[in-house]
Amino acid sequence: MREEFLGRLPPIKDTEKSVIEVTNAERLPNSRLSCQIKMTDDLDGLTIDVPPSQR
Amino acid sequence: MPAGAVIIGAGQAGFEAAASLRSAGYGEHVTLVGEEPHLPYKRPPLSKGFVLDKQGMDEIELRPAAFYDHHRVEMIAGERVVDVDRRERRVRLASGRAIAYDALVLAVGARNRSLPVDGAELDGVLYLRTLDESREIKSRLQDAKDVAVIGGGFIGLELAAVARSLGKSVTVLEAQPRLMPRVVAPVISQFYRELHASRGVNVLCGATVSEICGAAGKVHSVLTAGGHAFPADVVLVGIGVVPNVELAQGMGLTVGNGIVVDEQLRTTDPAIYAVGDCADHPNAFAGGRVRLESVQNACDQARCAAAAIAGHSAPYAAVPWFWTDQFDIRLQMAGLSQRHDLTVIRGNAELQKFSVFYFRGPDLIAVDSINRPADHMTARRLLAAHAAVTPDDVADESVDLKRLVR
């Protein structure tokens, strides 16, 4: 997730934290699982970088 | 002029085949024919959140209607295919319409096995596969007091959990000596037996149903071979499925435990593929031919067949995985455990967070994880990489398993 949106996202929960550690691409400080982000008006314009591979 | 691709069956596999054809760059006509009068939707919520009203239609539909126009997928809902002329490469619908194809995908799924006892036709005996059936169950449960669930597999237990959450008195009758016997180790079966019992579900294993009894056409109880009667105003039957092979059979394709396909998911006619619940396919994780009933298998096979049709053929080699949600517990399964000769537990069963690792000889072949999603994700990568993992690695929680992936 691009930095400017990080503060608007719901906080990362334990399950997400444990799963994001074992993804294929290296975890970065701004990594999130997209399935844990519910789209809202506040996130209009959200910009994300997707990993080169997910499996 | 190319005729394009026709997909028969608009469940998860059929939908995924259509969408994947487009994402693989296929430019010809794509037609998706489904028997149900709905846009393609997800089946997993039908035995869980949808019945509890936690998930609505907007979360169940795989894509909104606009998707099909936008991606030029002709969606024909509520139509049945009556036959396929393989020489002319033409599909004929019940309405009389004929559709030509260059490539045909059979994503025809499976249907519920019927309960072979007297009284199974009584009002109140319900099965679950479709959205309409889930709606029927939801509505019948409202006024029900006693619910009998026949079959202690995924569907039966998920529905039992749902009915219990709605405050019903629930009895589960499983013919085998333990729950989910075809798919999980005894330690998991036992965990689920205790889970359901602790939430007030009456679970009986080794209980064979001999008759459904009713009055005035309506069910009132279920009789077991042991002579016990269980009151029920709703009976939910989940005793497995049979693959829909009749169309393929009529077309002269080879049929076994499903429609027989090769590593590329091609049937005995190279222009025709079969994917999802109906496909009897060679699978390295099964050590032979197998038919899998899962979202993963439906999606990955559909993508594989779509890629082949679009000119990027590759053998199907995805790691099988499954999940079930019962009450607030999630079980995630990776690999196929049936052929194991050793199990090792990682984590703590008392804390309701543990995984069972299944070995066959020196090889890790499957992992079942209860409330340990990171184990599950790691397991999928370990299995895909055929990583060297030992029972000692698994038993020692200080060993970071994901480091063994490469």
Q: Do the Cβ atoms of A24 and B374 come within 8 Å? A: no
Q: What is the pLDDT of residue A5?
A: 83
Q: Which residues from A are below 8 Å from B384, CB to CB?
A: 55
d(CA B137, CA B131): 10
CA-nearest residue to A15 within chain B is B373
Q: For residue range B41-96, list pLDDT tens digits in order.
A: 999 999 999 999 999 988 899 999 999 999 999 999 999 999 999 999 999 999 99
Q: Which residues from B are below 8 Å from A23, CB to CB?
A: 377
Tokens of B106: 């059979």
- Nearest CB to A18; choose among B374, B381, B384: B374
Q: Which residues from B are below 8 Å from A21, CB to CB?
A: 374, 402
Phi, psi for B53 (deg, rounded to 5): 65, 20
Q: Do the Cβ atoms of B373 and A19 come within 8 Å? A: yes
* Triad B197, A14, B353: Cα angle to 5°: 30
CA-nearest residue to A22 within chain B is B378
Q: Do the Cβ atoms of A24 and B373 come within 8 Å? A: no
Percent of chain B topping pLDDT 90: 96
d(CA A41, CA B225): 59
Question: For B40-96, where are the alpha helices, taking DSSP H only?
Answer: 57-60, 65-70
Q: Do the Cβ atoms of A19 and B377 come within 8 Å? A: yes
pLDDT category of residue B405 using cuts at 50, 70 and 90: confident
Average pLDDT over chain B, rounded to whole? 96
Mean pLDDT of B288-304: 98
CA-nearest residue to B353 within chain A is A15
Q: What is the largest CA-CA distance in chain B?
A: 66
Tokens of B102: 């260059």
Say yes or no: B314 contacts chain A, CB-CB below 8 A: no
* Triad A19, A23, A29: Cα angle to 5°: 80
Q: Which residues from A are below 8 Å from B377, CB to CB?
A: 19, 22-23
Tokens of B166: 């709605």
Q: Do the Cβ atoms of A24 and B381 come within 8 Å? A: yes
Mean pLDDT of B353-378: 96
**pLDDT exceeds cutoff 90 at B279:** yes
Tokens of B389: 């993992």
d(CA B332, CA B329): 10
pLDDT category of residue B277 using cuts at 50, 70 and 90: very high
* Contacts of residue B81, Cβ cutoff 8 Å, sequence gap at least 6: B8, B33, B91, B92, B93, B94, B247
**pLDDT exceeds cutoff 80 at A53:** no
Q: What is the pLDDT of residue A21?
A: 82
CA-nearest residue to A21 within chain B is B374
What pTM value is reported for the model? 0.94
**Are B346 and B338 spatial neighbours (Cβ–Cβ below 8 Å)?**
no
Q: For residue range B179-233, list pLDDT tens digits in order.
A: 999 899 999 999 999 999 999 999 999 999 999 999 999 999 999 999 999 999 9
Tokens of B381: 């990568």
d(CA B330, CA B161): 12
pLDDT category of residue A55 using cuts at 50, 70 and 90: low
- Nearest CB to B378; choose among A15, A22, A55: A22
* Contacts of residue B141, Cβ cutoff 8 Å, sequence gap at least 6: B51, B147, B162, B163, B166, B168, B234
Q: Which residues from A are below 8 Å from B373, CB to CB?
A: 15, 18-19
Say yes or no: B399 contacts chain A, CB-CB below 8 A: no
Q: Which of B377, B400, B403, B404 should we substitute to test contact with A (largest number of A Cβ atoms within 10 Å)?
A: B377
Distance of CA B67 to the CA centre of its chain: 25
**Are B34 and B78 spatial neighbours (Cβ–Cβ below 8 Å)?**
yes
Q: For residue range B176-185, list pLDDT tens digits in order.
A: 999 999 899 9
Q: Do the Cβ atoms of A21 and B381 come within 8 Å? A: no
Phi, psi for B90 (deg, rounded to 5): -140, 135
* Contacts of residue A14, Cβ cutoff 8 Å, sequence gap at least 6: none
Q: For residue range B329-351, list pLDDT tens digits in order.
A: 999 999 999 999 999 999 988 88
Q: Do the Cβ atoms of B377 and A15 come within 8 Å? A: no
Percent of chain A topping pLDDT 90: 0
CA distance, residue A8 to nearest chain B CA (Å): 23
Q: Do the Cβ atoms of B402 and A21 come within 8 Å? A: yes
Q: For residue range B132-181, list pLDDT tens digits in order.
A: 999 999 999 999 999 999 999 999 999 999 999 999 999 999 999 999 99
**pLDDT exceeds cutoff 90 at A4:** no
